Amino acid sequence: MESRRNPRAVVDPKVRQVGFFTSSQPDSTHQPDPIASESHPVASSISPSGNSLSPVMIPPPRHNSSDTFPLRAAAAAASAVSPSSFSYSTRRDFPDGSMTASPGRVSRASFSKPSSSLPGVGMDSMAAAKSSSVPASGLTTVSVVNMPPGLSEKESDQKKNSKPLKEKTTKAERRALQEAQRAAKAAAKAEGGKAPLVSSGSVASTNVKAAKPAKPSSQKNDVAVAAPGPSEKKGGQTEKDRKKDAPHPRMQYDDESRVVKAKRRAVVKQTEAKNRVELFRHLPQYEHGTQLPDLETKFFQLDPMHPAVYKVGLQYLSGDISGGNARCIAMLQAFQEVVKDYSTPSEKTLNRDMTAKISSYVSFLIECRPLSVSMGNAIRFVKNRIAKLPITLSESEAKAALQSDIERFINEKIIMADTVIVKHAVTKIRDGDVLLTYGSPTAVEMVLLHAHELKKKFRVLVVDSRPKLEGQLLLRRLIKRGINCTYTHINAVSYIMHEVTKVFLGASSVLSNGTVYSRVGTACVAMVASAFRVPVLVCCEAYKFHERVQLDSICSNELGDPNAISKVHGREDINYLDGLTNNANLQFLNLMYDATPSDYISMIITDYGMVPPTSVPVIVREYQKEHSLV
Amino acid sequence: MWRRSASFILDRSSNSPPMADTTQNPDAISAYYQTRAAHHGVITSDWLAQAQAAVEQPDSSVSDLGAEKSFNVIDEFNGWRKQPDLAEAVAAIRAMAAVIRASEATTMMELEIELKKASDTLKSWDKTSISLTAGCDLFIRYVTRTSALEYEDFNSAKSRLLERAEKFGEISCKARKIIAMLSQDFIFDGCTILVHGLSRVVLEVLKTAAQNNKLFRVLCTEGRPDGTGVLLSNELSKLDIPVKLLLDSAVAYSMDEVDMVFVGADGIVESGGIINMMGTYQIALVAHSMNKPVYVAAESYKFARLYPLDQKDMAPALRPIEFGVKIPAKVEVERSARDYTPPQYLTLLFTDLGVLSPSVVSDELIQLYL
């Protein structure tokens, strides 16, 4: 896998380096090109002209942050200590620091220079950092936050060094910096052969007042030093900062500081899984089954959280509600409750406050389980409606309008859409058909039941897969109605495909380039069907369409419980993998979704009719037009 | 009858329910293709002129105002479609225009309901004709859209609809001219064109090319059982275009020397594929495998909201096939008159909306019907 990324400077095969880092953009998770960085000596980075950036770097905004000075010093010290290591944690110490500057451009060699020069350098940037005002900290937090694990701390230092502004530092501060550096050096020497990550990690933690107990970082390969940011920063948090605390629904989880910040505000205390596949580091992976009892006890103590939302969150967490439509409907109904119980606090407008509340509930739901695309679209709709509420409405009128809007959304876009889809799809079922379906898609189930009611003669082949075995639920429901069914595992799909006349699949979402994003295994079934020239029909409501484009199943996905793979329910004798969960050589990967390219899809059945996969952007366009008019 | 499953032997015994559908009307001949066959007999240029003259005369059945409108509609339609130069959809719309004229409705809603009923009758009378269905749908769509225009006076609205319906015939002819004009860029000097079936649009294209003094030659397939090849070669030789007749089976043999394939369409479906005379799919497959472009010339009113998944997914359209010799009774004959060509084998569609790629069809349909 690593060969796909930057092949030039792989230090530690476990550490992933990707592309090129741009510091001042919140969503970037790339690292700087180490080679390019090595070509820039330290000196050039602190030229007073301020134009010291290499052409590829984005000029930093001019920030100063006074309270980051001692920490900055520590980082400088730490970085001096481990020149060739990538210490992510030291970077972490300065979340609010003025480190918006470019990533590491300094050669590693420069760090081995006598430390006396460093403090000078560091101090300049310290000083520069020092005078930055607190409000800037919000922005810098975000930019800093995007350093992926294993980033060289030299870069972080360089960020500071390339600060064009020079401030004067007091003698005391300089002394403190030197002390810290010496301490760091000594500590590093003591640790000696340990992984550089760990050393800098521990160094960082000695220097930083950890607000939260850090997880045992020495065990893990990925640096999960959970120092959530120096607590003295807390006072300096601004509005912007708080806003950014809410995790972006597609937050990149290999970004430590961001994760930790999110955790700080988290209601659900999820512990991160220890052993993770490198390629999927950007997705969240938690230990399953640990939070439910904890959350259940907290049910009556949740002041900020509405009980309906809490309940839905718990249901997501335990897996009671799964499937795009079910999750979306549950969430929307919870929001209806929220609106019903809502009362505008004084001196706040309903629009803003309600939106803020919804956002906080959404972040709670994300912590329980990452959002599906259907939920994302529904949330966008709700926020849109809230924003469009005329100010002149009284509170009760506004609430009633909102509730009816949500009700209408559920009815029109989900329930009636399903009826229309069923109506179109049954025209494609002929007598004598052998229909294959995978998993348990609600839309397809409705189609099959309706076709059976119309007395069409067909039989169904249900294909299922571990670990969820969702097909069994569908099977049960079909058999109860008397439909002739066959049940098999996905391993056998190429064996039985020659008998099949049509394949009906469901989708979690359909993307703009016609890619179908659906339960893992769907792509496999679609590919085999296409190889056998069997038409593949995807049943998906139009509200699940999304304008983003995804080329593979890696960049955006969801990781499930890894233990579900190692254990087979009901077969306690299959325990060969017991005790190997924490083995460094073995990682479990339990993906939830995959992306099926549009070439394998014959037709998409939506409430807009039967369309080819190439017409999805047209529907997205028409859909948005309709929304903006409404 | 032949199923994919190895269990087709078992299926045979339980075959009676599914077979019942097809044996319902074993000799059901598609009226559409019957008419086309009749047209083919007369669609020579000598007759065309006479036909044009016939078009001008208002249909006499208008005066026959009976209480049974539905009956009226079908007769009307039949009357119109007998005219060889008239596209099927145009005939349908003319029939609907007659319905409006004969209608005694006093409100727009009432008129719409009557039209809907008439269109349903027409559609159910001949399920196999795609342009008929498409034409009816288009007209109903147009009616419902214009009724939104606030016409104070119902009568003026009615007359506007009538006017539009009558103009549709001209639109159809104009459409052919636009298509012919658009396709001129694709016919270069010295090219060899393979033509299948006898489409009036394709004929127009070739005529215009000849008039523009382009030097090209045409290979036409024999086109059994309609014998379209002979008729087409007749027409083209009159225009002094070098023509060569091929057996339907000689297409792959001659594909090397062909530069492009031109076909018309009975209907263009939502996926971007076309439904056309039997043999089009075969030719498209051969052309595709030899990297020759396949161009389809069709008017935009042939866009239909169908989406066949495979060859058998359409309403069956059968026609009698004569082999010239007696066939034993136990032998079945594949009598379908048309096939479906999936969009991946088509290169471009020439329509009056412009030169389109097959995926645009769905775009147009969504905009039209949603």
pLDDT recorded at residue A102? 39
- pLDDT tens digit sequence for A200-253: 434 433 443 433 443 333 333 333 333 333 333 444 344 444 444 444 555 666
Q: Do B270 and A612 touch (CB under 8 A)?
A: yes
Rounded Cα distance, B100 and B25, in Å: 34
A3 pLDDT tier (thresholds 50, 70, 90): very low
- What percentage of chain A carries pLDDT values higher than 70? 56
What's the predicted TM-score (pTM) here? Answer: 0.68
- pLDDT tens digit sequence for A442-498: 999 999 999 999 999 999 999 999 888 999 999 999 999 999 999 999 999 999 999
Rounded Cα distance, A25 and A42, in Å: 23
- Burial of residue A509 (number of CB atoms within 10 Å: 0-12, 13-18, 19+): buried
Q: Do B11 and A432 touch (CB under 8 A)?
A: yes
Range 218-277 of B in CB contact (< 8 A) with A: 270-272
Closest CA to A32 of A44, A18, A46: A18
Residues of A with CB below 8 A from B272's CB?
A: 612, 614
Q: Domains of chain A: which residue ranges? A: 265-273+284-414, 428-557+592-629
Mutation for testing the A interface, residue in B361, B362, B368 having most A CBs under 10 Å:
B362
Rounded Cα distance, A215 and A228, in Å: 11
Q: Do A535 and B307 touch (CB under 8 A)?
A: no
Q: Do A609 and B305 touch (CB under 8 A)?
A: yes
pLDDT recorded at residue B355? 94
Query: Is residue B221 classed as helix, strand or coil in its secondary structure?
Result: strand
Interface predicted TM-score of the whole assembly (ipTM), two decimals: 0.77
Q: Do B4 and A499 touch (CB under 8 A)?
A: yes
Q: What is the architecture of the domain spanning A265-273+284-414?
A: Up-down Bundle (1.20)
Place of tokens 């069914």: A485
Determine the distance from the C-alpha atom of residue B168 to the mean position of all C-alpha atoms in its chain, rounded to a whole number. 16
Q: Which residue has the higher pLDDT, B13 or A47?
A: B13
Lowest-pLDDT range of B168-172, B315-319, B346-350: B168-172
Q: Do A500 and B4 touch (CB under 8 A)?
A: yes
Q: What is the architecture of the domain spanning A428-557+592-629?
A: 3-Layer(aba) Sandwich (3.40)
Q: Do B313 and A428 touch (CB under 8 A)?
A: yes
- pLDDT tens digit sequence for A82-137: 444 433 334 444 444 443 433 434 334 343 444 444 444 444 444 444 444 444 44
- pLDDT tens digit sequence for B133-171: 888 888 887 777 766 565 667 778 778 878 877 777 677
- pLDDT tens digit sequence for A438-451: 999 999 999 999 99
Lowest-pLDDT range of A526-540, B152-166, B295-309: B152-166
Judged by a CB distance cut-off of 8 A, whether residue A420 touches chain B is: no
Residue A285 has pLDDT above 80, yes or no: no
Query: Which of A432, A537, A622 lies at the smallest CB-CB distance from B18?
Result: A432
CA distance B334 to chain A (A): 20
Determine the distance from the C-alpha atom of residue A168 to the mean position of all C-alpha atoms in its chain, rounded to a whole number. 41
Residue A75 has pLDDT above 70, yes or no: no
Judged by a CB distance cut-off of 8 A, whether residue A535 touches chain B is: yes
Lowest-pLDDT range of A327-336, B14-23, B252-261: B14-23
| Chain A / chain B CB contacts < 8 angstroms | 64
Rounded Cα distance, B69 and B73, in Å: 6
Judged by a CB distance cut-off of 8 A, whether residue A619 touches chain B is: yes
The bridge status of strand A516-519 relative to strand B294-297 is unpaired
- The CB density around residue B96, as the number of other CB atoms within 10 Å, is 27
Phi/psi for A519 (5° steps) reads -55, 145
Residues of A with CB below 8 A from B362's CB?
A: 611-612, 614-615, 618
- pLDDT tens digit sequence for B10-35: 545 444 443 433 444 445 677 777 77
Closest CA to A363 of A243, A257, A271: A243
